[in-house]
Amino acid sequence: MDVNLITIFILAIFVGNEIINKVPPTLHTPLMSGSNAISGIAIVGALLAIRVGGEMGTYIGLAALICATINVVGGFLVTDRMLKMFKKK
């Protein structure tokens, strides 16, 4: 395991901690569904697993791709649907 990757990992946790703490309680549900969509970044890994003639690994990759796409598309859409409702009179 590359120490660079661990560095990125640790720093990202600190960044996450800083920005998430500033999200007001009123937006915690959209935060959750939105961050859910972001964790759908696994879609990148799924795409890379779907190689021509990759046999078993390819089909497992396809299953992963479907799961991750649901997360990405559904997550961003439903977050937008919620945030649209937050209005100030």
Partner 1 sequence: MNLFYLISAVCFILGLKRLSHPRTARSGNFLAALGMLIAIAATLASSNVLDTNLILIGVGVGSLIGFLFATRVQMTEMPQMVAIFNGLGGAASALIASAEFLSNPNSPYIIVCLSVFIGSLTFTGSFIAFGKLQGIISGRAITFKGQQLFNALIALASLVLILTPNLLASDLMTAFTVIIILALILGIGLTIPIGGADMPVVISLLNSYSGVAAAATGFLIDNQALIISGSLVGASGLILTNIMCKGMNRSLANVIFGAVGAESSSGSSAEGKEMNIKSYSTTEAAMILDAAEKIIIVPGYGLAVAQAQHITREVADTLESKGKKVYYAIHPVAGRMPGHMNVLLAEANVSYDLLKDLDEINPEFEDCDVALILGANDVVNPAARHDQSSPIYGMPILNVDKSKTVIINKRSMNPGFAGVQNELFGYDNSIMVFGDAKDMLNSLLKEIKEL
Residues 8-47 that bind partner 1 (CB under 8 A): 8-9, 12-13, 15-17, 19-47
**Interaction between residue 56 and partner 1 (CB under 8 A):** yes
**Interaction between residue 3 and partner 1 (CB under 8 A):** no
- Shortest gap between Cβ of 2 and partner 1 (angstroms)? 7
**Interaction between residue 67 and partner 1 (CB under 8 A):** yes
**Interaction between residue 48 and partner 1 (CB under 8 A):** yes
Q: Which long-range contacts (CB under 8 A, 24 or more apart) does 71-77 make?
A: 71/36, 71/37, 71/39, 71/40, 71/42, 71/43, 72/37, 72/40, 72/43, 74/37, 75/33, 75/34, 75/36, 75/37, 75/38, 75/40, 76/34, 76/37
